[in-house]
Structure 1
Amino acid sequence: MDFRNKTVLITGGCSGIGKIMARKSLERGARKLVIWDINEDALAITKEEFTGLGGEIFGYKTDVFNLDDIKINAQKVRTEVGIVDILINNAGIVVGKYFHEHTHDQIHKSMLINSNAFMHVGLEFLSGMMAENSGAICNIASSAGLISNPKMSVYAASKWAVVGWSDSLRLEMEQLGKNISVTTIMPFYINTGMFDGVKSKLLPILEPEPTSERIIKAIENKTKMLAMPLPYWFIRFSQGILPIPIFDWVMKNIFGVYDTMKGFRGR
C-alpha cells in the first residue's frame, strides 16, 4: 500500500510510535492525516509540529474507551475528510499488576481500549474501504499477544484478542476477494515510556524510530504478521514443539521474559 495521496488515520497519534508513524505517513506523501487522541493539547501541538511536512492534518479529540465517541468522530471524519485509505489502530494502555491486584474498572478499561476499540474503529471505516475495494488496516498488538507473562494477564488477554480478530479479518478480506490488506504487529517492549521500568535479560528493548519504520514498511509491503525482535514463526514453532514446562523454562531462564515486569513503573 503506497502512502502517497492517501488518507491515513492513526489512533493514539500524539505520542510514542503513533506520533512517529503519523510523521512518517506525511513524509511518505500522505494527502490527509487524521489523528485521534484523548489529549486535546497534544493534538494542537502535534498539528503545529507537523505543519510543513506536506498533506492536510486533521485532529479529533477521541476517547476510544467510549463507543459513542468513536461513532461520533468516525462520522465527522467521513463528512469532513472522506474515506480513510489506511487505518492504524495504535491507542492502548497497560496496567502492570498481578491479576488479583486489578480492579474491575481496570479490567474493563483495558479490554475496551486495547481490543474492543480496535474492532469498533475498524468497523466504522471498513465499509468505506470495501466500497472502494482498496485499503489497509494495521493493528498494533504486542508480543504479549503470543506469550503469556506475569503481571500482564489482562494486557495479554486484550492483545491475544487483537491478534485473533486482526488475522481473522485478514482472512475474511481474502475470502471475499477484497483488495484490503490487514497487518498484525506484535512488538516486544518499546522504549516510549509506556513500559518504564521493564528489564530484559536477552531480548532488546525496541527503539521507537526504527520500530515505527518497520511498521510503516510492513503496511507498504502488505505484510500479514510482523513480530519483533523474535519472528512470529519462531515463537509459534517453539510453543508447538516444546512441552509447556520446557517452554516456560526457556522463556524464564534463557530469554528472561517472565521476569521483565518485576520493576515496571509505566508512565
Structure 2
Amino acid sequence: MKQLRGKIVLVTGGASGIGKIMVRLLLERAAKVIIWDINELKIAETISEFSNKGTISGFTIDVSNVNQIKETALKVKEEIGAVDLLINNAGIVAGKYFHEHTTLDILKTMEINANAPMHITKEFLKEMLAQNSGHICNIASSGGLISNPKMSVYAASKWSVVGWSDSLRLEMEQLKKNIHVTTIMPYFINTGMFDGVRSRIPILNPEVAALTIIKAIEKNKRMVTIPGYIYRLIKLGQGLMSINVLDWFAGNVLGIYKTMEHFTGHKNNS
C-alpha cells in the first residue's frame, strides 16, 4: 500500500466539499497538503481548522485561467517543492437543459472540469517524470459514463476527464514510468453541489466518498466508481441493451434520467 507520510499533495477545490474532507484525511496520514481554491476566505478557514493536524498551505487561484495555473504552479515548486500526488478535484455544474446554457456556462464548465485538470497536470508532470515517481488522481463522475438530461455540458466535461485520465495512465505504463493515474467516477455526493437531486440510487455520503478516494490512491487503483457496482451496471446495460431498452432501464427502472428535475445546486459549486 502506498505510504503518504511526508508526501507533498496538492488538492484543487480543497477548501470545501469532498476536497476539504480529503485534505483532512491526507493530513491524518502525515502528508504535506497544499490547497488550491478560488475562495480565499474558505482557504483561510480550512487552514485554521486543520493547522494542528499537520503541514498545510493554500493558494488562491481560478483554475479556469491558464496563466494563473502556470504562475501558481511555479510558486508551489519554488516555495514548497515537487508535488508527489496531485488530486484534480475542483469542479462546477450548471444543471439545466442544453439550450438554456449561456456561452459562459459552457466555457466555464469545460475550462474548470475538463481543461484545468490537463493544464494543472502538465505543470507538475515534468518533475514526476524526472524523479520517476508520482500519482495523479482525477475526480470525474458517473456522469462521465452515462448520458443524463439537464447534465449535457457537465457530462461532456466529465466524459472528457475519463477519456484523458485513463489515456494518461496508459501512456505512463507504455513509457514504463512509475507514475500512477487514478480515475474516480462517483455518483451524486451530498455536498451541496447537487442540492435538489432526487435519486433511487442512494446519494453518497461525502465522508465515505472521500475516504474511498484516498484508499483508492493508497492502493494504486486505476478506475474507481463510487459505489462500485455503478460501472458494471452501466457497462453491462450499454453492452447488452439496445438504446430503447437502455433508455427505459436507466430512465424508468433506475430513475437516472429524472434525477435533475428538481436540481437547485448552490451558488458557488466547487
State the TM-score bracket (shorter-chain normalisation): over 0.9
Residue of structure 2 in register with 1:114 after alignment: 113
Contact persistence 1:225–1:232 (CA under 8 A): no
Q: Which whole-Å CA distance do the structure 1 matches of 2:83 and 2:56 have between them? A: 13
SS at match of 1:197: coil
Residue of structure 1 in register with 2:245 after alignment: 246
TM-score in terms of structure 1 length: 0.97
**Structure 1 residue identity aligned to 2:264:** R
Q: Which whole-Å CA distance do the structure 2 matches of 1:233 and 1:125 have between them? A: 33
2:215 to 217, 233, 244: 217
**Structure 2 residue identity aligned to 1:265:** T
Residue of structure 1 in register with 2:34 after alignment: 34
Q: CA deviation at 1:172?
A: 0.3
Residue of structure 2 in register with 1:226 after alignment: 224
Contact persistence 1:14–1:42 (CA under 8 A): yes
> Is 1:74 the counterpart of 2:62 in the alignment?
no
Per-residue displacement from partner, 1:203-257 (whole Å, max 9, x unpaired)? 1000100110000000000110011223423321221111111111110111100
Alignment of 1:78-117 (within 5 A): 78-117=77-116
Q: Which whole-Å CA distance do the structure 1 matches of 2:37 and 2:226 have between them? A: 25
Q: CA deviation at 1:50?
A: 0.6
TM-score in terms of structure 2 length: 0.96
Larger CA deviation: 106-115 vs 232-241: 232-241
Q: Which whole-Å CA distance do the structure 1 matches of 2:72 and 2:149 have between them? A: 36
Q: Which whole-Å CA distance do the structure 2 matches of 1:231 and 1:110 have between them? A: 24
Residue of structure 2 in register with 1:5 after alignment: 6
Per-residue displacement from partner, 1:76-120 (whole Å, max 9, x unpaired)? 001001000000000000000000000111101100000000000
Contact persistence 1:95–1:106 (CA under 8 A): yes
Residue of structure 2 in register with 1:48 after alignment: 48
Q: Which whole-Å CA distance do the structure 1 matches of 2:264 and 2:244 have between them? A: 29
**Structure 2 residue identity aligned to 1:210:** V
**Structure 2 residue identity aligned to 1:170:** R
> Is 1:157 the counterpart of 2:156 in the alignment?
yes
SS at match of 2:52: coil
Identity of matched residues, %: 61
Q: Which whole-Å CA distance do the structure 1 matches of 2:4 and 2:238 have between them? A: 36
Q: Which runs of 4+ in 1 moved over 4 A?
A: none
SS at match of 2:180: strand
Q: Which whole-Å CA distance do the structure 1 matches of 2:162 and 2:154 have between them? A: 12
Q: Which whole-Å CA distance do the structure 2 matches of 1:258 and 1:66 have between them? A: 33
Alignment of 1:195-210 (within 5 A): 195-201=194-200, 203-210=201-208
**Structure 2 residue identity aligned to 1:40:** E
Q: Which whole-Å CA distance do the structure 2 matches of 1:238 and 1:214 have between them? A: 25
Per-residue displacement from partner, 1:147-167 (whole Å, max 9, x unpaired)? 100000000000000000000
Contact persistence 1:163–1:184 (CA under 8 A): yes
Residue of structure 1 in register with 2:170 after alignment: 171
Q: Which whole-Å CA distance do the structure 2 matches of 1:87 and 1:66 have between them? A: 18
